[in-house]
Structure formats: structure tokens, C-alpha cells
């Protein structure tokens, strides 16, 4: 998969050092992934939440943070859309 929206992740890593290594591991895993359907995501990340419109929520640092991405399975692209604390996630306007 090709990861877009890295600037969001970069900024977050600069502000939240505790999440840096886990986000970097996730970025590396995404680069090696080849997902063709949502079930491929769940197979690798059982705690990920599959939303409508090909959106996925990943838990970072034991669910301390949430990462929202958009996955285009056909184009093999993952777009990082938002990342923030679990508390702020409750206020996100997710389509």
C-alpha cells in the first residue's frame, strides 16, 4: 500500500513522542501491505474499526490515540486523515 498524508503523522509524532515508535512501525507495515478488501485489514489489525466509505480507525498506543485513514483497495492507497487522542476522537465528524 502507498501511504499518503504522512505530514499529519509527522506532526503528531513531533508532539507525542510516546506514539512515535508505534506510528513508525505502522507506517512500515502499511508500506509492505497488499490489502484487497476490508477483511485483510481486520486479519492484520483485529482491533481496527472498519467504517463506511472505506474508512478505518486504528488504535495507537493501546487506544490512547486514534488514527483515521481512508483505504482505496483498488489503487492500493492509504490516506491518513486524522490522528488525535481517544478523548478528542469522540468529537470527530466522521462521514
Q: What residue spans define the domains of the chain?
A: 2-84
What is the pTM assigned to this prediction?
0.90
The confidence score (pLDDT) of residue 85 equals 83
Looking at residue 63, what is its pLDDT? Answer: 86
- How many whole angstroms separate alpha carbon 12 and alpha carbon 65? 10
Longest Cα–Cα distance of the chain, Å, equals 34
Beta bridge partners of 49: 57
The CATH code belonging to domain 2-84 is 3.30.2310.20
Q: What is the mean pLDDT of the chain?
A: 92
Enumerate residue ranges in the chain where pLDDT < 70. Answer: 86, 89-91, 93, 95
d(CA 21, CA 27): 10
Amino acid at each position: 500500500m502507498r501511504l499518503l498524508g504522512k505530514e499529519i503523522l509527522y506532526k503528531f509524532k513531533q508532539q507525542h513522542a510516546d506514539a512515535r515508535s508505534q506510528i513508525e512501525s505502522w507506517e512500515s507495515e502499511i508500506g509492505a501491505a497488499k490489502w484487497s478488501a476490508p477483511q485483510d485489514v481486520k486479519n492484520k489489525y483485529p482491533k481496527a474499526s472498519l467504517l463506511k466509505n472505506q474508512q478505518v480507525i486504528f488504535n495507537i498506543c493501546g487506544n490512547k490515540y486514534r488514527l483515521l485513514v481512508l483505504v482505496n483497495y483498488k489503487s492500493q492507497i492509504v490516506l491518513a486523515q486524522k490522528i488525535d487522542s481517544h478523548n478528542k476522537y469522540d468529537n470527530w465528524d466522521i462521514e
